[in-house]
Amino acid sequence: MNTLRSTTTNGLLEREFTLGDDLHGVLWSPSEDPAPLVLLGHGGGRDAKAAPMAGRAKRLVEAGFHAVCIDAPGHGNRPRTAYDVQQEAAMKEAMATGVPVGPIVVPYNRHLADLAVPEWQATLDFLEGLPGIEGPIGYFGLNMGTAIGVPLTAREPRISAAVFGIFWYDEQLATHAREIKIPVEYLLQWDDQHIPRESGLALFDAFASTEKTLHANSGAHKEVPRFEVDSMVRFFQRHLR
């Protein structure tokens, strides 16, 4: 790990790092070690330093966890391919013209997940060796964070509790969900203008977990209530302690 920057504010240690050629991330740590680790998968168009990740990381550190987020392929300052540029333009056009965006997002995010899963595994291999990171590992990610997190969690036995949501049902993603047996908390927006209600419910249904909870909130795609951050922290407190 090449640490680019390290700052400590009110007991929150924030380390921006690169790993290998191309991987960039942020690791947030509490002052008291050892502590379990939560992986944060950011949403589409965001990156590891975006406010939604930094805010959740701060809450997790306050609750005594490490949190880490890495830039997804084609996100942050990472190189973007012609395919990335083309897909992003197609998503924007679909949203602007009211065409369903799911049929674009789902295969594009599946492509990104194919690249991102081994990157998360390399990150995990590295972080596991750091002093102070100890105990079971959690994963949080909505939207694209779910598209990447579900196949990652299906493949990765080190992850023992996960929060997913705000994504479409798709046969390939559901196949991975059916392999997941760890506790899952799953978010769905009841009035999502992009994801049909039945599609979100079907993806929740697919998880093989004996312990899973759906939190469906009134409101549109981007209106996930702030109190769900508290719920996520409590979920990890129940399962990673």
| Cα 41 from Cα 35, distance rounded (Å) | 19
CB-nearer residue toward a second copy: 61 or 188: 188
Q: Quote the least distance from Cβ 201 to a second copy, whole Å.
A: 8
- Asked if 239 touches a second copy (CB under 8 A), the answer is no
Q: Quote the least distance from Cβ 111 to a second copy, whole Å.
A: 31
Helices 102-128 and 82-97: angle between axes, nearest 10 degrees: 130
Q: How many CB atoms lie within 10 A of CB 239?
A: 18
Contact stretch for a second copy (CB under 8 A) within 62-70, 107-115, 153-161, 225-233: 225-233
Question: Which H or E run contains 87?
Answer: helix 82-97
CB-nearer residue toward a second copy: 18 or 237: 237
Tokens describing residue 132 = 């102070």
Question: Which H or E run contains 165?
Answer: strand 159-165
CB-nearer residue toward a second copy: 26 or 187: 187
Site string for a second copy, 181-220 (x = CB under 8 A): ---------x----------x--xx---xxxxxxxxxx--
Q: What are phi and psi of 204, to 5 degrees?
A: -55, -45
CB-nearer residue toward a second copy: 32 or 198: 198
Task: Indicate which single residue of 69, 231, 233, 240 sits in contact with a second copy (rule: CB under 8 A).
Answer: 231
Q: Dihedral sign for Cα 77, 81, 85, 88, please.
A: negative
| Cα 57 from Cα 12, distance rounded (Å) | 10
Q: What are phi and psi of 220, to 5 degrees?
A: -85, 180
CB-nearer residue toward a second copy: 167 or 204: 204
Site string for a second copy, 141-180 (x = CB under 8 A): ----------------------------------------
- Asked if 62 touches a second copy (CB under 8 A), the answer is no
| Cα 159 from Cα 39, distance rounded (Å) | 9
Give the gyration radius of the chain's Cα atoms: 17
Q: Quote the least distance from Cβ 87 to a second copy, whole Å.
A: 32
| Cα 35 from Cα 131, distance rounded (Å) | 10
Q: Quote the least distance from Cβ 192 to a second copy, whole Å.
A: 13
Q: Phi/psi zone of residue 30: left (φ > 0), alpha (ψ -120 to 50 degrees), beta?
A: beta
Q: Quote the least distance from Cβ 143 to a second copy, whole Å.
A: 19
- Asked if 42 touches a second copy (CB under 8 A), the answer is no
- Asked if 50 touches a second copy (CB under 8 A), the answer is no
Binding site for a second copy (CB under 8 A): 190, 201, 204-205, 209-218, 225, 227, 230-231, 234, 238
